Amino acid sequence: MKTLDAYMKLPYKMEIVPDTEEGGYVVSFPELPGCLTCADTLEQAAVNGEAAKREWLIAAMEEGIDIPEPVSLDDYSGQFKLRIPKSLHHALATHAKEEGISMNQYCVYLLTKNDTLSHA
């Protein structure tokens, strides 16, 4: 098991989102479930976030809760294989050709467009 200082040095993703209902900001760490806080300013949000992370880690260590490691983009190759129906393959290839790009580029475009819409 790592020490508190070792966990604090790990690059956990901090998300700071404006609170449109109450004002100020909400701070969370997606890799540390339930670790969140709030603040009136961005500067205070970062400070409060680090304090909340520290307290969350202390509580998890005291309770013997497994502490997840931060997710790293190095864990992903950027490639995956996908089996699709022949008719969809044909449609994608046709649309890509119409756009003058590779089918791979066209699929990345479609995935990015859909992912952006689903998070809006």
- Tell me the HSE value of 65 on the side-chain side, using a 13 A CA sphere: 13
What fold characterizes domain 4-63? Double Stranded RNA Binding Domain (3.30.160)
Domain regions of the chain by residue span: 4-63, 77-118
Cα separation, 29 vs 53, whole angstroms: 8
What fold characterizes domain 77-118? Arc Repressor Mutant (1.10.1220)
Q: What is the pLDDT of residue 119?
A: 64
**Element housing 92 (H / E):** helix 86-99
Helix (H, G, I), strand (E, B) or coil at 46: helix
Which regions in the chain score pLDDT beneath 70? 118-120
Query: Helices 103-118 and 86-99, interaxial angle, to 10°?
Result: 100
Are the folds of 4-63 and 77-118 the same? Answer: no
Helix (H, G, I), strand (E, B) or coil at 28: strand
